Structure formats: structure tokens, C-alpha cells
Amino acid sequence: MAKYKVTIADSRYPAYDEEKRVLEAIGAEVVVERSDTEEGIVAQARDADGLIVNLAPVTAKVVAALERCRCVSRYGVGYDNVAAAALKARGIALANVPDYCEEDVSDHAMALFLDCVRKISRKDRHVRRGEWNLTGVQPVRRIAGRTFGFVGYGMIARRVHRKLSGFGLGRVLVSDPVVTQEKAAEYGVETTDLDTLLRESDFVSLHAPVLPSTRGMMGAAQFALMKESAILINTARGPLVDQPALIAALKSGAIACAGLDVFEQEPLPADSELAALDNVTLVDHAGWYSEEAMVELKTKAAQNIADALLKGAPTYPVCL
């Protein structure tokens, strides 16, 4: 008989080999519940010692039904679909995987940035229609000597900065309340407030978390501050941006271009006005993805449970 039971409440992945490899090594039975309903999760997780979840709802009702659970491990960084307060009240640890895709998301931000600067996707669409000599209607500006602004300067932003180091930027501005002057000097950046960053940056990349203070932080007033030649990149979270305000800014030419991996509503509706705009690059929230990141994510999500069961605490606890 298995020493532990671990339920995976998820239907996103076709197989769970990495999770089973980690958990079966500690004597755990792994049960996959391919349901996203409260009832389905409770049926399989009621007597589980650990629960791994992706997008399925771990509501207060689900938490109340857990009889033996010691840890809930969330695939990825965010945990909006988990009733964190209910877990805390029950003394059940919550864990995530905050570091599995830093290289991948930073690569993705760089790809969106270069696509927007050099108009790659836009030119591709025009060339496929038989158009040529597009420089007059689609001006491209050199990166060297210009100003790059980071809204939020955590690990992913710092990786983007490292990857930008060979482009000869003139200045790098950072708006992040936790970056001290000492750290700014160490990183080779200038700290400033958001309004100044938006006014002075040629390129703005969002890397902030969604908090009450940051939700909708990029709205009409902020776009009005930006240069008409400015480019916005968002690989963080869709709710940071007031999407109708962004659409208006792109339509009016208040800013030149945007590269978006995340949106207020996902999947992006087929009739979204963004899809009709030529000066925006749209990706399906895939910045996190590489085959290597997938293996790392699944392994670490399972290791959280293994460590919680064997050592009393998960590898990556969420502090509540």
C-alpha cells in the first residue's frame, strides 16, 4: 500500500511522467483528476496528502473538504485560482514554482521587443500580400543610444536587461519601489517614478505583479505621457494594462507599437479590436513555454509536495 496519496487536479497535460517520477520515489500514489469542477476535485483529493493544481479551482469549499492535505502546489507563479486564505486558516502549505521559466519569458520579451522595433511581423504580413519598399510607411528606429524602461525589475526583467547589454542602449530606467539606489547602481540602472519613465523611455517593458495598486496601471493617462514612437512590451500580466485605452493609443498613434503575450481576457476573443490592428504583435500567453521549462515546472511542482511530506515544508512556499 502506498505511503501517501497525491492528487493532480489538472487536465492541461497529456502525461505526468515527471510528477510520478518524483512522487513515486517517496512511496506516493499519484491520482490524476482530469476535472475542473469542485465536486471532481473533492472526490479525488479528500483523502490526499498533497494536491497539485494548474487552473482548476481550489475554492474554499474544496479546501474545507481536504482531510489530510499538507500542501497544495500550484504549477507556475500565480495562484489566483486557489483560496489561499482558506489554506492558511487550515494550516495547509501553499507552494508555487516561481523560477521555472525566467530564461524563457525573458527570451520571449526580447523576441517581442525586436519584432516591434524591426517591424518583422508587420512586414511579413505586407510582403505576403505582394507589397515591397515599406520603409516609408513603417519607419524603423535604431536601438543604440535609446532609453529602455522597466516597470518592475525582478528576476525576469534583470535577465532581459542582461540580454539587452549588447545593444548599446543609452539609458536604462527602472520604476520599482523595492529597488534601492544601492541596487540600482549595482545593476547599472536609474530608478525613477512611473510617469518619468513613461515620458523618457523609447521602449517600455512591463514586469510588475498584479496587485490592487498595479491593476490597470497602464491607462489612458499613462499612454498620453509616452512618446509617439514608443513601444510597449507586456509579458507579465494582462490586467496591468487597460486594454481599451491601449487600443485607443495604438489606433490614434499615441504610441507606435505593442508586443503582447498577455491580455485582460484569455483566450483573446476572436473579435477583439487588437486583432484588427497592424501595429501590435499578439502571442497566446506562451512566454513561459519551452520543452525544458515544461519539464522543470512539472518536476518542481511535484518536488514541492515531496518536500512538504518528507521535510515539513515545500521547496517554494508562498508566504501568506
Neighbours of 218 (CB within 10 A): 24
Q: Calculate the alpha carbon distances from 225 to 110, 202, 228, 230, 255 in Å.
A: 24, 12, 9, 10, 10
46 is catalytic: no
258 plus 243 within the same structural domain: yes
Kindly state whether residue 319 falls inside one of the protein's structural domains.
Answer: no
C-alpha torsion sign, points 293, 298, 299, 303: positive
Question: What's the confidence (pLDDT) of residue 254?
Answer: 98
Catalytic residue among 128, 266, 291, 296: 266
181 lies in which domain range? 102-282
190 plus 202 within the same structural domain: yes
95 plus 227 within the same structural domain: no
E strands, 87-226, in order: 93-95, 147-151, 171-175, 190-191, 203-206
299 plus 174 within the same structural domain: no
66 plus 112 within the same structural domain: no
Catalytic residue among 46, 237, 273, 291: 237
Asked whether the predicted pLDDT for residue 320 surpasses 80, the reply is no
E strands, 145-189, in order: 147-151, 171-175
110 plus 124 within the same structural domain: yes
122 plus 251 within the same structural domain: yes
Mean pLDDT in residue range 68-92: 96
Asked whether the predicted pLDDT for residue 10 surpasses 90, the reply is no
Asked whether the predicted pLDDT for residue 138 surpasses 90, the reply is no
Kindly state whether residue 166 falls inside one of the protein's structural domains.
Answer: yes
91 plus 108 within the same structural domain: no
Mean pLDDT in residue range 27-31: 97
Kindly state whether residue 318 falls inside one of the protein's structural domains.
Answer: no
266 is catalytic: yes
Grid coordinates representing 221 are: 493617462
pLDDT (tens digit per residue) in 205-228 = 999 999 999 999 999 999 999 999
Mean pLDDT in residue range 156-183: 97
94 plus 108 within the same structural domain: no
Catalytic residue among 285, 291, 292, 296: 285
Domain count, the chain: 2
Kindly state whether residue 155 falls inside one of the protein's structural domains.
Answer: yes
Q: Where are the alpha helices (DSSP H) in 9-135?
A: 17-24, 38-45, 60-65, 84-90, 102-118, 120-128
The whole-model pTM stands at 0.92
CATH number for 51? 3.40.50.720
285 is catalytic: yes
Kindly state whether residue 274 falls inside one of the protein's structural domains.
Answer: yes
Question: What's the confidence (pLDDT) of residue 36?
Answer: 81
93 plus 107 within the same structural domain: no
Asked whether the predicted pLDDT for residue 184 surpasses 80, the reply is yes
For residue 62, with 0-12 CB atoms within 10 Å meaning exposed, 13-18 middle and 19 or more buried, which class applies? buried
